[in-house]
Amino acid sequence: MLRRIVFPNGDRRPLAIVLFALLGGCGAAGEVGEVYPGAAGEIRQTLLRIDELPPIFGSNAVDTHVINNGDGTITWTASQRFKPVLRFIARTEPVDAAHTRVTVQITGPTSAEDDEVARRLAENPTVRDLYLAAMVEQVDATLEGRDFDMTAISGQLALATAANMGETVDRLDRAAAEYQRRDAENVAKAYEQEANGGWD
Amino acid sequence: MPKRFLIAGACLAAAACGSEPGVYDLPRQEVYDRLASNPLDALKFRRACGILIHLLPSARNGDEIDWRVTHNGHTKVQFSIRLEELSPEQTRVSVSVDSKDADGSEAYDGDYFTPYPAFQQPLRPAIEEAIAATLEGREFDPSRAPHSRDDDVCDVQRATLQQNGVPIDVVMQRRGDGSSDSLSEDGWGSGTTD
């Protein structure tokens, strides 16, 4: 189920939009490993089918690009307005012929040491841990053939929300005002387009 | 106690109690003049569901005004108001949603289902707030007319228009999932209302 924030005007936005903003889009980090049945190649093929980030990000807020790097790793790059803002990297390591360990890492959009997002991830560990836990759950759900389980990240979600509440509220206010302005502009444009002959 | 304090207290007490809902301290003719040709844009821009709608007012008898809400020329819903002169300086405005559901209940009453809704539900409080805002000379206040949080179809349609500037029926037409005409027949009915 998609978690959304309901603004005063009734509109709903994914919670992650706001937390994303806290990162400015946030240092690299965190790794969690899990062993799954299946050869490494099969596991990678399954992981390549993940073409959306976990539902906390919201499909409208973030575009996702997935690539097989050919070195046993798969990278998902999240972009906002065509600008890469975050990467998740899954490393697959054969445990034996029929089992593979999958380790997920979160990092900034570049590998540069001074990557701004990586720095902010390091400064906002609760948000970083939430995103990582969400992606780990996304991978786990995919490899186990089940739906994403929001309860699997409820702890990280609560911690991230509590730790960033003050700034989140300020940003919510600003985001709400900006969304309302943009929404009204888009609606007005649509009526103008209709008056000028509509759409082809 | 100084007389001016008594007057101020009386005014505050009156404000605290509030006047009867739908009753305005305006002459009937003034209410009529403000609403008779008013397209109630607040409803269109604050409560529509992502399809482009037009509110067409038509006055009759000097004490009744109808609004026909259309989309692509098809009537989606109709509502009206009736004015009652309570005194030379006070008028009651009664709102009626004239379109009905198959079971006779009021359209957009909160439980109304239509595949491509025009308005967030319930509609009647929003109409009343749009009229109140017009007659009181203020902005439409969404908090005075809360809408359902479970109106998912409307929310999706609304988000599509707000985020892309393209109405849902046009988006569906582009995707090949339907056309405006077919949606009109299937979703909005061939009669005068949905």
Paired residues of A91 in beta bridges = A73, A103
Binary contact (B45, A194; C-beta < 8 A): no
Q: How many Å lie between the alpha carbon of B173 and the closest alpha carbon of chain A?
A: 10
Structure tokens belonging to residue B34: 């403000």
- Using 50, 70 and 90 to split pLDDT, how confident is the model at A89? very high
Q: pLDDT for B46-102, tens place per residue? A: 999 999 999 999 998 889 999 999 999 999 999 999 999 999 999 999 999 988 887
Residue A18 has pLDDT above 60, yes or no: no
3-state DSSP call for residue A16?
Answer: helix
Q: How many Å lie between the alpha carbon of B62 and the closest alpha carbon of chain A?
A: 31
Phi, psi of A62 (to 5 degrees): -135, 135
Within 8 A of A5 by CB-CB distance, chain B residues are: none
Residues of chain B where predicted confidence (pLDDT) is lower than 70: 1-18, 177-194
Query: What Å distances lie between residue A124 and A58, A90, A121, CA to CA?
Result: 20, 21, 5
Rg of chain A taking only CA atoms, in angstroms:
19
Q: State if pTM tops 0.90.
A: no
Long-range contacts of B164-170 (CB under 8 A, 24+ apart): B164/A186, B165/A185, B165/A186, B165/A187, B165/A189, B165/A190, B165/A193, B166/A190, B166/A199, B167/A190, B167/B50, B167/B51, B167/B52, B168/B50, B168/B51, B168/B116, B169/B51, B169/B72, B169/B116, B170/A198, B170/A199
Q: What pLDDT was estimated at residue A32?
A: 52
- Please compute the mean of the pLDDT values over residues A178-192 and round it to a whole number: 89
Report the 10 Å Cβ neighbour count for A152: 17
**Cα gap A37→A59, rounded to integer Å:** 29
Q: What pLDDT was estimated at residue B101?
A: 80
Binary contact (A8, B161; C-beta < 8 A): no
The structure tokens 């994303």 sit at A20
Q: Which of B51, B40, B142 is nearest to B95 (CA)?
A: B40
Q: What pLDDT was estimated at residue B193?
A: 46
* Between A154 and A198, the higher pLDDT residue: A198
Residue ranges of domains in chain B, CATH in brackets: 18-167 (3.30.310)
- Please compute the mean of the pLDDT values over residues A113-130 and round it to a whole number: 83
Residue A159 has pLDDT above 60, yes or no: yes
Structure tokens belonging to residue B21: 């809902």
Which of A6, A60, A190 lies at the smallest CB-CB distance from B166?
A190
CB A101 within 8 A of CB A93: yes
Binary contact (B159, A60; C-beta < 8 A): yes
B171 vs A: CB within 8 A? no
- Please give the residue of chain A at the shortest CA–CA distance from B164: A186
ipTM: 0.78
DSSP one-letter code for B106:
B
B143 vs A: CB within 8 A? yes
Which of A6, A12, A190 lies at the smallest CB-CB distance from B52?
A190
